[in-house]
Structure 1
């Protein structure tokens, strides 16, 4: 509350409004850091409802644990944790949550996997134009909601979501043609970091970083072989192999 001070002198009375010494000064806009984690490996299974999708595979769980340790080690305090509604993303967030005890992930439906328009028409020839447009629209909503400077001091948010979602949002941050998103490839449990400066400028710090995952456990990028945590069979006794 402001205080009214009276000053007497030379026959005049002057008035001045002063603020208490401990009044909180409004904070200036700050930098926002957004860390996007792709879900771990999963095995496609048409038996699962498309909107939910299958859970993580064993190697996907291991990848998620490595991602959790990596983001926990970042010099950031995450103000918000968000996750896609799909099962593989929720499984990944559940594993990562072990490194953030007492914290909950907020589900954002617009983070669900989808396919936005791309100039690689041979890839999307089976998609309906209306569905491509709807995907772009919902990802643009995510960008408008989250990818902006912090309103008071520096902030950081984590999003656990999907490859198409992450690649599209990177193109938005770069300010390039969003139909080029398919020219990137981000691995399972990879970490992408985007910074929004206080003045609104974007900086892509890392895209699809998998340095926290051993090479023989990396999956999800173009050219990666299939991998498994299953124990391979031993050669029979007496075999020369």
Structure 2
């Protein structure tokens, strides 16, 4: 059906209802969520964005009820739009994920896998970069693994007035999902994917979502964790196949910046940004 026929079809429906439900059937909100190519050329995208990926406002409010008045006009029963506005977000969330610095690969236990001298330098450089950006950081969350905890503490030395600082077990390194295509000699047991994957997915659901309606200003939050966790979260946030996570590489101490808009759109501003580090300080271990 062409866009003109669609428009005429909606107009006929609205006219039959006395115009009372026209704004509900064909709102600017619905038009915004439909690709302009669909309306002008009839193009259908191969993959559509899931607007309800984290439960948008429409899913939190009961749909309106309609009834006929004495003139047989369809009217809406209840203040649906008012209730919708109360739960609709208005601010953006900026999530900055930092990969830990280089660490001791010879360590057997987690406590032995501490940062190297280079790793500490990388963490300090990242902390300085965050400070230079002058974003109003409100929260820092870090993995409980030694290398991430040490990185977070060095970063925090560079930042002032962080309202919330917390350690999180969900952000620990692991095997999120079997990668496609398989790459290299990394072959964890399948039970690792089942255990780690559920935990890392839980981290995504806890931290990656649009702002609550009570949030009035854009927020900036920092998460210090691990390459596998960050790459998986990027794929999930962008609604890309999660199996693609191993196709990306992140430098130690690098920053990955994701922004979540009030309407549910997600943008990747930076992936593994490390241009603020001198070349001799770069590593990917």
TM-score interval w.r.t. the shorter chain? Answer: 0.7 to 0.9
* Residues 184 and 63 (structure 1), Cα distance of their counterparts in 2 relative to 1, 3 Å cut: same
1:99 lines up with 2:158 in the alignment: yes
Task: Compute the displacement of 1:134 (Å).
Answer: 2.1
Matched, 1:177 2:177: no
C-alpha offsets along residues 77-126 of structure 1, whole Å, 9 cap, x if unaligned? Answer: 11211000011111111111111245463111010000122124465774
User: What aligned pairs does 1:200-211 form with structure 2 within 5 A after superposition?
Assistant: 200-211=264-275
SS at match of 2:141: strand
Which one of the candidate residues 80, 84, 91 is aligned to 2:139?
80
Instruction: Give the drift of 1:54.
Output: 1.0
SS of 1:30 mapped into structure 2? coil
Residue number in structure 2 paired with 1:65: 124
In structure 2, the residue corresponding to 1:105 is in which secondary structure?
Answer: strand
Report whether the alignment pairs 1:37 with 2:37. Answer: no
Residue 137 of structure 1 pairs with residue 201 of structure 2: no
Segments of structure 2 that go 5 or more residues without pairing to the other structure are: 1-85
> Hey, what's the Cα distance between the residues in 2 that align with 1:58 and 1:150?
38
Q: 1:228 is matched with which residue?
A: none
Number of residue pairs matched by the alignment:
195
Quote how far apart the aligned CAs of 1:61 are: 0.6
With structure 1 as the length reference, what TM-score do the two structures score? 0.75
Q: List per-residue Cα deviations over 1:41-96 (Å, max 9, x = no partner).
A: 1121243x24x551100011111110001111224211211000011111111111
| Structure holding more strand per residue | 1
Contact 1:33 1:196 in 2 (8 A): yes
* Contact 2:141–2:168, Cα closer than 8 Å, also in 1: yes
CA contact (8 A) 1:53 1:88 kept: no
Partner of 2:36: none
Say if 2:281 is the partner of 1:217. yes
Is 2:141–2:223's contact at 8 Å kept on the other side of the alignment?
Answer: yes
Scaled by the length of structure 2, the TM-score of the pair is: 0.64
1:184 to partner: Cα distance: 0.2
What per-residue deviation string (whole Å, max 9, x for no partner) do you get for residues 132-155 of structure 1?
122221121111111111111221
Alpha-carbon separation, structure 2, partners of 1:28 and 1:181: 29
Relative to structure 1, the CA distance from residue 26 to residue 145 in structure 2 (aligned partners, 3 Å threshold; closer, same or farther) is closer
CA distance in 1, matches of 2:266, 2:123: 27
**8 A contact 1:163–1:186 mirrored in 2:** yes
For 2:192 and 2:225, the matched residues in 1 are separated by: 19
The structure, 1 or 2, with the larger RCO (C-alpha pairs under 8 Å, 6+ apart) is 1
Structure (1 or 2) with the greater helix fraction: 2
